[in-house]
Amino acid sequence: MRARVLAKADLLALVDCLCQDYEVIAPFAGRGRDSFFEPVTDQNRSAIRLHLPNPSYPPKRYVFPHIERMLRIHLDDLPHIEPLYDAPKRALFGIRSCDTAGIDHLDRFYLGRDYRDVYYAQLREHLFLVNVVCTDPDLDIDDDCFCMCADTGPAARDHFDLQLMDLGEELLAVAGTPAGEAYFSQPLFKKATPAHVNRRREILAEIRKRFKLATSWYAGTSRLITLKKVSNEIWEQIGNRCLECGGCSYLCPTCTCFTVTERPAGPGDYERVRIWDACALGGFTRMAGGFNPRRAAHDRRNRRFFHKLAHYFIQRDLSVTCVGCGRCIGVCHGAIGMPAVVEILRQASVGSEIHATTGA
Amino acid sequence: MQPPAPDNVYLPKIAILDRTEDEIADVRTFYWHFDDPAVQTVFKRFRPGQFAQVSVFGVGEFPASLPPSPTEPNLFLTVRKVGSVTAALHQLKLGARFGVRGPYGNGFPMQNYFGQNLVIVAGGIGLIPLRSCIVYALHNHERFRKILLFYGARTPGDLMYLNELPAWQEAPNFECYLTVDRPDQAWSHHVGVAGSLFKKPGVTVPVENTMAFVCGPPIMFRFVIRDLKAMGFEDRNIISTLERYMKCGVGKCGHCCIGLAYVCTDGPVFTYEQIKRLGEDI
Ligand SMILES: Cc1cc2nc3c(=O)[nH]c(=O)nc-3n(C[C@H](O)[C@H](O)[C@H](O)COP(=O)(O)OP(=O)(O)OC[C@H]3O[C@@H](n4cnc5c(N)ncnc54)[C@H](O)[C@@H]3O)c2cc1C
Ligand code: SF4
Ligand code: FES
């Protein structure tokens, strides 16, 4: 492990170092348990915290913006088409382990397979990730966190440039990339000793016991979905609770769907933009002429969980497409966030298994 | 699979509209060439059954099949006016510039069928994606056994590409059977659904060593599949193209998924065996 330590009091000094090289984005506390990512400025710099609830509005927007301009189209005698790229050098300070895993998923999705997404690639290439390990059982770990089940947290194993972990008086810094390691030449970093590494292990062992929501029976659910053991009635039950707001997909660190549209941008000018989209929404698959292959809400809900949990997609995407951040639990008016659906499927399968043995 | 991705897969290439031809009501064929000859050369390596993403600048983009065969000199699209972007394409004047990117999708693996019979069943504008494989097969007709086309539409006025039939019929191993649901006075061919042609006196549909291509509206598709299965066709010897809402064409926007498959990159061509295993109804 390429590790160093720095004094907790030097946290802002590290942020200042990053600010020399990047536009730095950090989470800030709002009212209650609200929090939000914002660019660091001279004014808000002192409000940077190591421990605070993870913002609901996910950091995926720094690689996959909510609305992203793709092309400028100028209509004159001849149309003039120009791709628009906006990829500033950014450091995301304080990204949680679940969201780091989310970005890793997006990397595999947008950069892999048949085609490479150049808009994503540019934003990602210029993004430096400073992961902060969740160690405060009250501030960092929410009632809804289930990264333990998704195997993404509380401490990310990779996919960050730098990782910081609170050891009490000091912070342990781990470099995940050469770019991260380069910062270790700054005088604020000191050598880490085996005692530091031990302390890290102890804290993690302790914090793992402090999760409130520890059940999310993925493997079993995957099996049921893959083998098509989930009855249509169960999907209907789940679908009936969906209000089709799309919130779950918008807040999901691994949801990738978008729509594309053209909008006016001045006289004779148009922009082609892409916008987050959600398979929960009624129009997602509706074709010209009105034919919609997924008419019922439960066909669409089924879709989301099928994609996230079916074995085929786990193979295709190389992981369960859920990182355990818990945002869908918080946002869903119908109480059908991921753990709830997993639980509904588990109970239904227990029911049907009992049914199968007694009915025989 | 696809050739290595160019820098920006979402960037439309400039196409220039050379000529249009009306096919049937609301359906028009658009002949075009690329502004950049190098783009034209690369694009011309498309396969039957592939599609392109077509932009009308300032309005939007939509997927359209490539009805020409790569063995033909011209590039063209045949598009029905149904919504905003297709209507805008219909408005374009000759010489106008629009955008095309692609070709996308898997296409029909025509070489795999050398030495076999082809039974091609089309309903309405389902002939658009199949035209490419018909013309490709006729161009290489000595490499196939029989090539049978069964083509049905609602009325005689809904049949497309009819002016090409005489040229197609020059191939010695080609047979074509037409049918409509509602004939007019001048109609001298069959009346009935596409599948009823299979039982018409004088028609022999080969089943052994035969690939069946089916494209058309969902109801027609279901009935034709039933008829083909009744004749003894195996699921893996029936092949079709699927249509889904699409935005990107390159496997990223997520709109076109059916069950396990992305129609834009895994399809749009699927065998019936694959369609049944998608895990979601089509
Ligand atoms: C692989 C494939 C090949 C196709 N080939 C042809 C063809 O050769 N000729 C032809 O006339 N039509 C074809 N279609 C259908 C054609 O794409 C739609 O009719 C067209 O998208 C409608 O666009 P619109 O803007 O006029 O309609 P609107 O209702 O205004 O649609 C807006 C947008 O929604 C999406 N969309 C809506 N309906 C469809 C649909 N049925 N399929 C895909 N995307 C849709 C498109 O992005 C479209 O621009 C094909 C569709 C697919 C998927
Ligand atoms: S957040 Fe809940 S109600 Fe909203 S779309 Fe998702 S499942 Fe449906
Ligand atoms: S059209 Fe976008 S994923 Fe297939």
Looking at residue A319, its pLDDT comes to 75
A144: Cβ–Cβ under 8 A, 6 or more apart, which residues? A213, A326, A327, A329, A330, A337
Q: For residues A93 and A99, what is the distance between their CA atoms, to the nearest angstrom?
A: 12
What range does the domain containing B121 cover?
110-241
- Partner-chain contact A285 B244, CB within 8 Å: yes
- Smallest CA-to-CA distance from A122 within A55, A68, A66, A176 is with A68
Q: For residues A275 and B232, what is the distance between their CA atoms, to the nearest angstrom?
A: 47
As a whole number, the mean pLDDT across chain A is 89
CB contacts, 8 Å: B83 with chain A: 288-289
- Closest-CA residue of B relative to A110 is B252
Tens digit of pLDDT for each residue in B208-225? 999 999 999 988 999 999
**Alpha carbon distances (Å) from A93 to A7, A17, A27, A326, A331:** 17, 12, 8, 20, 24
Q: Which two tokens stand for residue A309?
A: 């949990």
The average pLDDT across B114-139 equals 96
Looking at residue A215, its pLDDT comes to 62
Q: For residues B139 and B71, what is the distance between their CA atoms, to the nearest angstrom?
A: 7
- Whether residue B231 sits in one domain with residue B141: yes
* Last residue in a domain, options B79, B104, B129: B104
- Domain assignment present for residue B197? The answer is yes
Assess whether the C-beta atom of B244 lies below 6 angstroms from ligand 3.
Answer: no
Q: For residues B196 and B191, what is the distance between their CA atoms, to the nearest angstrom?
A: 9
Q: How many CA atoms lie within 13 A of A120 on its CB side?
A: 24
Residue found by looking up tokens 């940077």 in the block: A48
Assess whether the C-beta atom of A329 lies below 6 angstroms from ligand 2.
Answer: no
Q: What ipTM goes with this model?
A: 0.90
- Whether residue B141 sits in one domain with residue B96: no
Helix (H, G, I), strand (E, B) or coil at B120: strand
- Whether residue B99 sits in one domain with residue B126: no
Looking at residue A6, its pLDDT comes to 95
- Domain assignment present for residue B26? The answer is yes
Looking at residue A353, its pLDDT comes to 53
Q: For residues A187 and A15, what is the distance between their CA atoms, to the nearest angstrom?
A: 14
- Whether residue A131 sits in one domain with residue A31: yes
Q: Which residues have CB under 6 Å of ligand 1? A: A 287-288; B 51, 60-65, 78-80, 82-87, 128, 243-247, 268
- Whether residue B188 sits in one domain with residue B77: no
Looking at residue A148, its pLDDT comes to 85
Contact B140, B167 (CB under 8 A): no
Per DSSP, the residues of B79-94 read EE--SHHHHHHHHPPT
Q: For residues A119 and A71, what is the distance between their CA atoms, to the nearest angstrom?
A: 11
- Whether residue B176 sits in one domain with residue B53: no
3-class secondary structure per residue, chain A: CCEEEEEHHHHHHHHHHHHHHCEEEEEEECCCCCEEEEECCCCCHHHCCCCCCCCCCCHHHHCCCCEEEEEEEEECCCEEEEECCCCCCEEEEEECHHHHHHHHHHHHHHHCCCCCCHHHHHHHHCEEEEEECCCCCCCCCCCCCCHHHHCCCCCCCCCCCEEEEECCCEEEEEECCHHHHHHHHCCCCEECCHHHHHHHHHHHHHHHHHCCCCCCCHHHHHHHHHCCCCCHHHHHHHHHCCCCCCHHHHHCCCCCCEEEEEEECCCCEEEEEEEECCCCCCCCCCCCCCCCCCCCHHHHHHHHHHHHHCHHHHHHHCCCCCCCCCHHHHHCCCCCCHHHHHHHHHHHHHHHHHHHHHHC
Assess whether the C-beta atom of A337 lies below 6 angstroms from ligand 2.
Answer: no
Contact A337, A144 (CB under 8 A): yes
- Domain assignment present for residue A261? The answer is no
Helix (H, G, I), strand (E, B) or coil at B257: strand
- Domain assignment present for residue B183? The answer is yes
- Domain assignment present for residue A274? The answer is no
Tens digit of pLDDT for each residue in A118-150? 999 999 999 999 999 999 989 998 888 888 888
Nearest beta carbon to residue B58 from set A110, A262, A303: A262
Q: For residues A188 and A9, what is the distance between their CA atoms, to the nearest angstrom?
A: 10
- Whether residue A203 sits in one domain with residue A226: no
CB contacts, 8 Å: B221 with chain A: none
Looking at residue A214, its pLDDT comes to 63
Q: Which two tokens stand for residue A276?
A: 């987050």
Assess whether the C-beta atom of A59 lies below 6 angstroms from ligand 2.
Answer: no
Contact A271, A72 (CB under 8 A): yes
The band of B7, judged by pLDDT with boundaries at 50, 70 and 90, is: confident
- Whether residue A236 sits in one domain with residue A172: no
- Domain assignment present for residue A232? The answer is yes
How, if at all, do strands B238-241 and B257-258 pair? unpaired
Least confident of A336-350, B145-159, B217-231: A336-350
Residue found by looking up tokens 């053209």 in the block: A262
Contact B180, B159 (CB under 8 A): yes
Burial class of residue B112, CB neighbours in 10 A (0-12, 13-18, 19+): exposed
- Domain assignment present for residue A183? The answer is yes
What range does the domain containing A195 cover?
3-64+86-210
Look at residue A343 and tell me whether its pLDDT is greater than 90: no
- Domain assignment present for residue B94? The answer is yes
Residue found by looking up tokens 């065969």 in the block: B69
- Domain assignment present for residue B247? The answer is no
Nearest beta carbon to residue A118 from set B1, B7, B60: B7
- Whether residue A243 sits in one domain with residue A206: no
- Domain assignment present for residue A79? The answer is no
Looking at residue B90, its pLDDT comes to 97
Looking at residue B279, its pLDDT comes to 75
- Whether residue A238 sits in one domain with residue A103: no
Sign of CA dihedral B134, B135, B136, B141: positive
Say which amino acid occupies B140: N
Rg, C-alpha atoms of chain A: 22
Contact B211, B228 (CB under 8 A): no
Q: Which of B1-5, B93-97, B167-171, B191-195 has the highest mean pLDDT?
A: B93-97
Assess whether the C-beta atom of A247 lies below 6 angstroms from ligand 2.
Answer: yes
- Whether residue B149 sits in one domain with residue B229: yes
* Last residue in a domain, options B104, B124, B158: B104
Looking at residue B112, its pLDDT comes to 95
Helix (H, G, I), strand (E, B) or coil at B163: helix
A163: Cβ–Cβ under 8 A, 6 or more apart, which residues? A130, A131, A132, A133, A155, A156, A173, A174, A175, A176
- Domain assignment present for residue A72? The answer is no
Chain B positions contacting chain A at CB under 8 Å are 1-2, 5, 7-12, 14, 57-61, 82-83, 86, 97, 99, 218, 243-245, 247-248, 250-255, 257-260, 265, 279-282
Return the ligand 2 atom nearest residue A243 CA. 3
- Phi, psi for A208 (deg, rounded to 5): -60, -25
- Domain assignment present for residue A80? The answer is no
Say which amino acid occupies A347: Q
Q: Which two tokens stand for residue A120?
A: 């994503």
- Whether residue B89 sits in one domain with residue B69: yes
Other beta carbons within 10 angstroms of residue B90's beta carbon come to 17
- Whether residue A222 sits in one domain with residue A172: no
Q: Which two tokens stand for residue B226?
A: 């039933």
Helix (H, G, I), strand (E, B) or coil at B282: coil
Least confident of A151-155, A221-225, A329-333: A221-225
- Whether residue A168 sits in one domain with residue A240: no
Say which amino acid occupies A204: L
- Whether residue B135 sits in one domain with residue B88: no
Look at residue A358 and tell me whether its pLDDT is greater than 60: no
Residue A70 near chain B (CB below 8 Å): yes
- Whether residue B95 sits in one domain with residue B128: no
Task: For residue B20, give the DSSP letter.
Answer: E
Rg, C-alpha atoms of chain B: 18
Looking at residue B231, its pLDDT comes to 94
Per the DSSP assignment, residues forming a β-bridge with B270 are: B240
Number of domains in chain B: 2
Q: For residues B100 and B36, what is the distance between their CA atoms, to the nearest angstrom?
A: 12
- Whether residue A37 sits in one domain with residue A179: yes
* % of chain B at pLDDT higher than 70: 98
- Domain assignment present for residue B78? The answer is yes
- Whether residue B120 sits in one domain with residue B100: no
- Domain assignment present for residue B278? The answer is no
- Whether residue B68 sits in one domain with residue B160: no
**Alpha carbon distances (Å) from A209 to A137, A196, A203, A206, B71:** 10, 21, 10, 6, 67
Q: Which ligand is closest to the CA of A334, given by its number?
A: 2
- Whether residue A249 sits in one domain with residue A101: no
Nearest beta carbon to residue A285 from set B59, B245, B252: B245
Domain harbouring B236, CATH code: 3.40.50.80
Q: How many CA atoms lie within 13 A of A254 on its CB side?
A: 29
Domain harbouring B32, CATH code: 2.40.30.10
Q: For residues A162 and A181, what is the distance between their CA atoms, to the nearest angstrom?
A: 8
* Last residue in a domain, options A193, A210, A227: A210
* Last residue in a domain, options B104, B139, B160: B104
Give residue A166's Cα distance to chain centre: 22
Say which amino acid occupies B98: F
- Whether residue A34 sits in one domain with residue A168: yes
- Domain assignment present for residue A348? The answer is yes
- Whether residue B141 sits in one domain with residue B63: no
- Whether residue A162 sits in one domain with residue A245: no
Number of domains in chain A: 2
Q: Which two tokens stand for residue A76?
A: 């004159």
